Structure 1
């Protein structure tokens, strides 16, 4: 591939450096996250989906998708790193001994405006769950 792309007068760069650079670009692109997202918070459920599109879609072909009732969302965390942005959901689950399931999504390609919209919607859901939880009384 290297010999066919560059003319012979530019062969001062060794082929292994070009190969290493291409592998590094593919690795960084795969670690940054998914390029497409869809979120739906209407009704009683939350649907959040991310998937890869483009020429590197073969690295992670299956979409990450979660569909859960709003009352199961306990909290969330948003981590804004140098290379990647992560959104972590903490969900109430009876399957784990700690009753908590953690689901992680990478959102590096999503704009800050869209991320702010996502976080504001999630804030509303978590606050409403917190207020409903406080008002529920347990009958003895």
Structure 2
């Protein structure tokens, strides 16, 4: 399986980042999460269903919402959107298998519960810049 997703953010309806993994750290994850949440809210006001994707420079961002949880991923513009959405659907399914709706409804705001999510989706995520740098130094 090809690793096509570079960054991922998982946000609740309040805009809090439950989980994130970024390819190259450059900005605060909560700030990025707030921006993504605001963009999705704006899009929902403009058109029912919210924002599904947008492109910036050389990256494509794709949004998916399920059970009040927003999933945002990005990948290279060169990667086919259908392929990214299939990978995203797999990630969403794994998330709700590990963290069922009932658990999320009773969640106590402890973000550490989501810390091990990456090990369940590592086959979908491109290795980070840090890992590339360590391999060469």
Structure showing greater Rg: 1
Q: TM-score, normalised by structure 1?
A: 0.27
Q: TM-score, normalised by structure 2?
A: 0.28
Higher strand share: 1
Q: Quick one: higher RCO (CA 8 Å, sep 6+), 1 or 2?
A: 2
